[in-house]
């Protein structure tokens, strides 16, 4: 039992580290500042969505917390080579703080249904957690750090929505492929009155 627990913990830590790395690598994709906006459009929100859709809520949140911890330590992991504590005082702070929250939400919604991975539900879960919730937190950050009114913050945020909707669909398609290749990632839920095992690591 001890060896099984140790193996499971080691696997979880490896997956957390891998997805923190994936988010960092997506930061190498050049950022775009649409219409001179203070918050750049990046590919890293795709990594946030993927972490939740593949890892489940707990591991996904841990992966993004690890990523943010490395950023806070000064590693230039954000798009455009940004890093350090200063980024948490800027207008993008709501989106950054929202990374682990959104990843947790996507994971919770995805893992609530369990196996098999359903594309339609996967898209909906990613839209709710990775777009609606993340953007709500981003808007709060814009209001707090960019001194924008609610209307101005929402208008600024709308620039990101079309791209993130596309990322949500892409995320669900990728997640479907991952779960088809590794069916043990998703938990097995109650079927026909019979309680079946659930992956506690989620």
- 19 burial via Cβ count (<10 Å: 0-12, 13-18, 19+): buried
Question: pTM of the prediction?
Answer: 0.86
Q: Does 65 score more than 70 pLDDT?
A: yes
| 192 confidence band (pLDDT: 50, 70, 90) | very low
- The pLDDT assigned to 190 comes to 60
d(CA 9, CA 26): 26
What does the pLDDT look like over 9-50, one tens digit per residue?
A: 888 999 999 999 999 999 988 666 554 455 667 899 999 999
> Cβ neighbours of residue 53 under 8 Å, at least 6 residues apart?
106, 107, 110, 122, 125, 126, 171, 172, 174, 175
What does the pLDDT look like over 78-136, one tens digit per residue?
A: 988 899 999 999 999 999 999 999 999 999 999 999 999 999 999 999 999 999 999 99
Q: Bridge partners of 32? A: 41
Domains defined along the chain, listed by start: 2-30+38-185 (1.10.1760.20)
């Amino acid at each position: 039992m001890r060896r099984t627990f140790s193996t499971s913990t080691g696997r979880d830590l490896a997956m957390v580290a891998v997805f923190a790395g994936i988010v960092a690598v997506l930061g190498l994709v050049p950022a775009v500042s649409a219409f001179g906006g203070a918050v750049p459009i990046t590919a890293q929100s795709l990594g946030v969505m993927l972490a939740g859709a593949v890892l489940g809520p707990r591991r996904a949140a841990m992966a993004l917390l690890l990523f943010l911890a490395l950023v806070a330590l000064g590693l230039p992991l954000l798009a455009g080579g940004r890093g350090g504590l200063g980024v948490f005082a800027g207008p993008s702070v709501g989106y950054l703080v929202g990374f682990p929250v959104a990843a947790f939400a996507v994971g919770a919604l995805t893992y609530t249904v369990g196996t098999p991975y359903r594309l339609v539900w996967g898209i909906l879960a990613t839209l709710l957690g990775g777009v609606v919730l993340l953007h709500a937190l981003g808007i709060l950050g814009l209001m707090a750090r960019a001194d924008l009114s609610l209307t101005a913050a929402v208008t600024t945020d709308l620039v990101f929505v079309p791209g993130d909707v596309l990322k949500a669909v892409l995320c669900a398609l990728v997640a479907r492929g991952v779960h088809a290749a590794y069916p043990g990632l998703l938990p097995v839920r109650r079927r026909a009155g019979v309680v079946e095992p659930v992956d506690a690591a989620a």
